[in-house]
A = this chain, B = another copy of it.
Amino acid sequence: MSTPTFDAPFRETLNDLLAWRRDVRHFKTDPVDRDIVLDCLKTVSIGPSVGNSQPWRFVLVDDQNRLQKLTELFEATNAEALSDFAGDSAKLYATLKLAGLKEAPIQLSVFADIHTNVGRGLGSRTMPETKAYSVVGAIHTLWILLRAHGIGMGWVSILPPDAMAELMEVDPTYKFIGHLCIGYPQEQTLTPELVKAGWQDRLPFDEFIIER
Contacts and interface: CB of A to CB of B under 8 A. Distances in A.
Interface of A: 1, 3-6, 10-11, 13-23, 38, 41-43, 45-48, 50-54, 56-63, 66, 77, 80-81, 84-85, 89, 93, 96, 98, 109, 118-127, 129-130, 132-133, 136-137, 139-141, 143-145, 147-150, 155, 157-161, 168-170, 177-178, 188, 190, 192, 194-195, 199-203, 205, 208-212
27 contacts: A4-B17, A6-B13, A6-B148, A11-B148, A18-B46, A19-B46, A23-B48, A41-B208, A41-B209, A42-B205, A45-B208, A51-B194, A52-B201, A54-B203, A62-B212, A93-B122, A98-B122, A119-B199, A122-B194, A126-B158, A130-B157, A133-B177, A133-B178, A136-B136, A137-B139, A137-B143, A170-B210
Given A57-B208, A61-B212, A157-B50, A6 B1 contact: no
Contacts of A150: 5-6
Contacts of A10: 10, 13, 148
A59 B18 contact: no
A169 B212 contact: yes
Q: Closest 8 A-B residue pairs measured CB to CB?
A: A52-B200, A137-B140, A136-B136, A52-B194, A23-B48, A3-B188, A6-B148, A140-B140
B126 A57 contact: no
A121 B210 CA distance: 24
B11 A4 contact: no
A133 B200 CA distance: 18
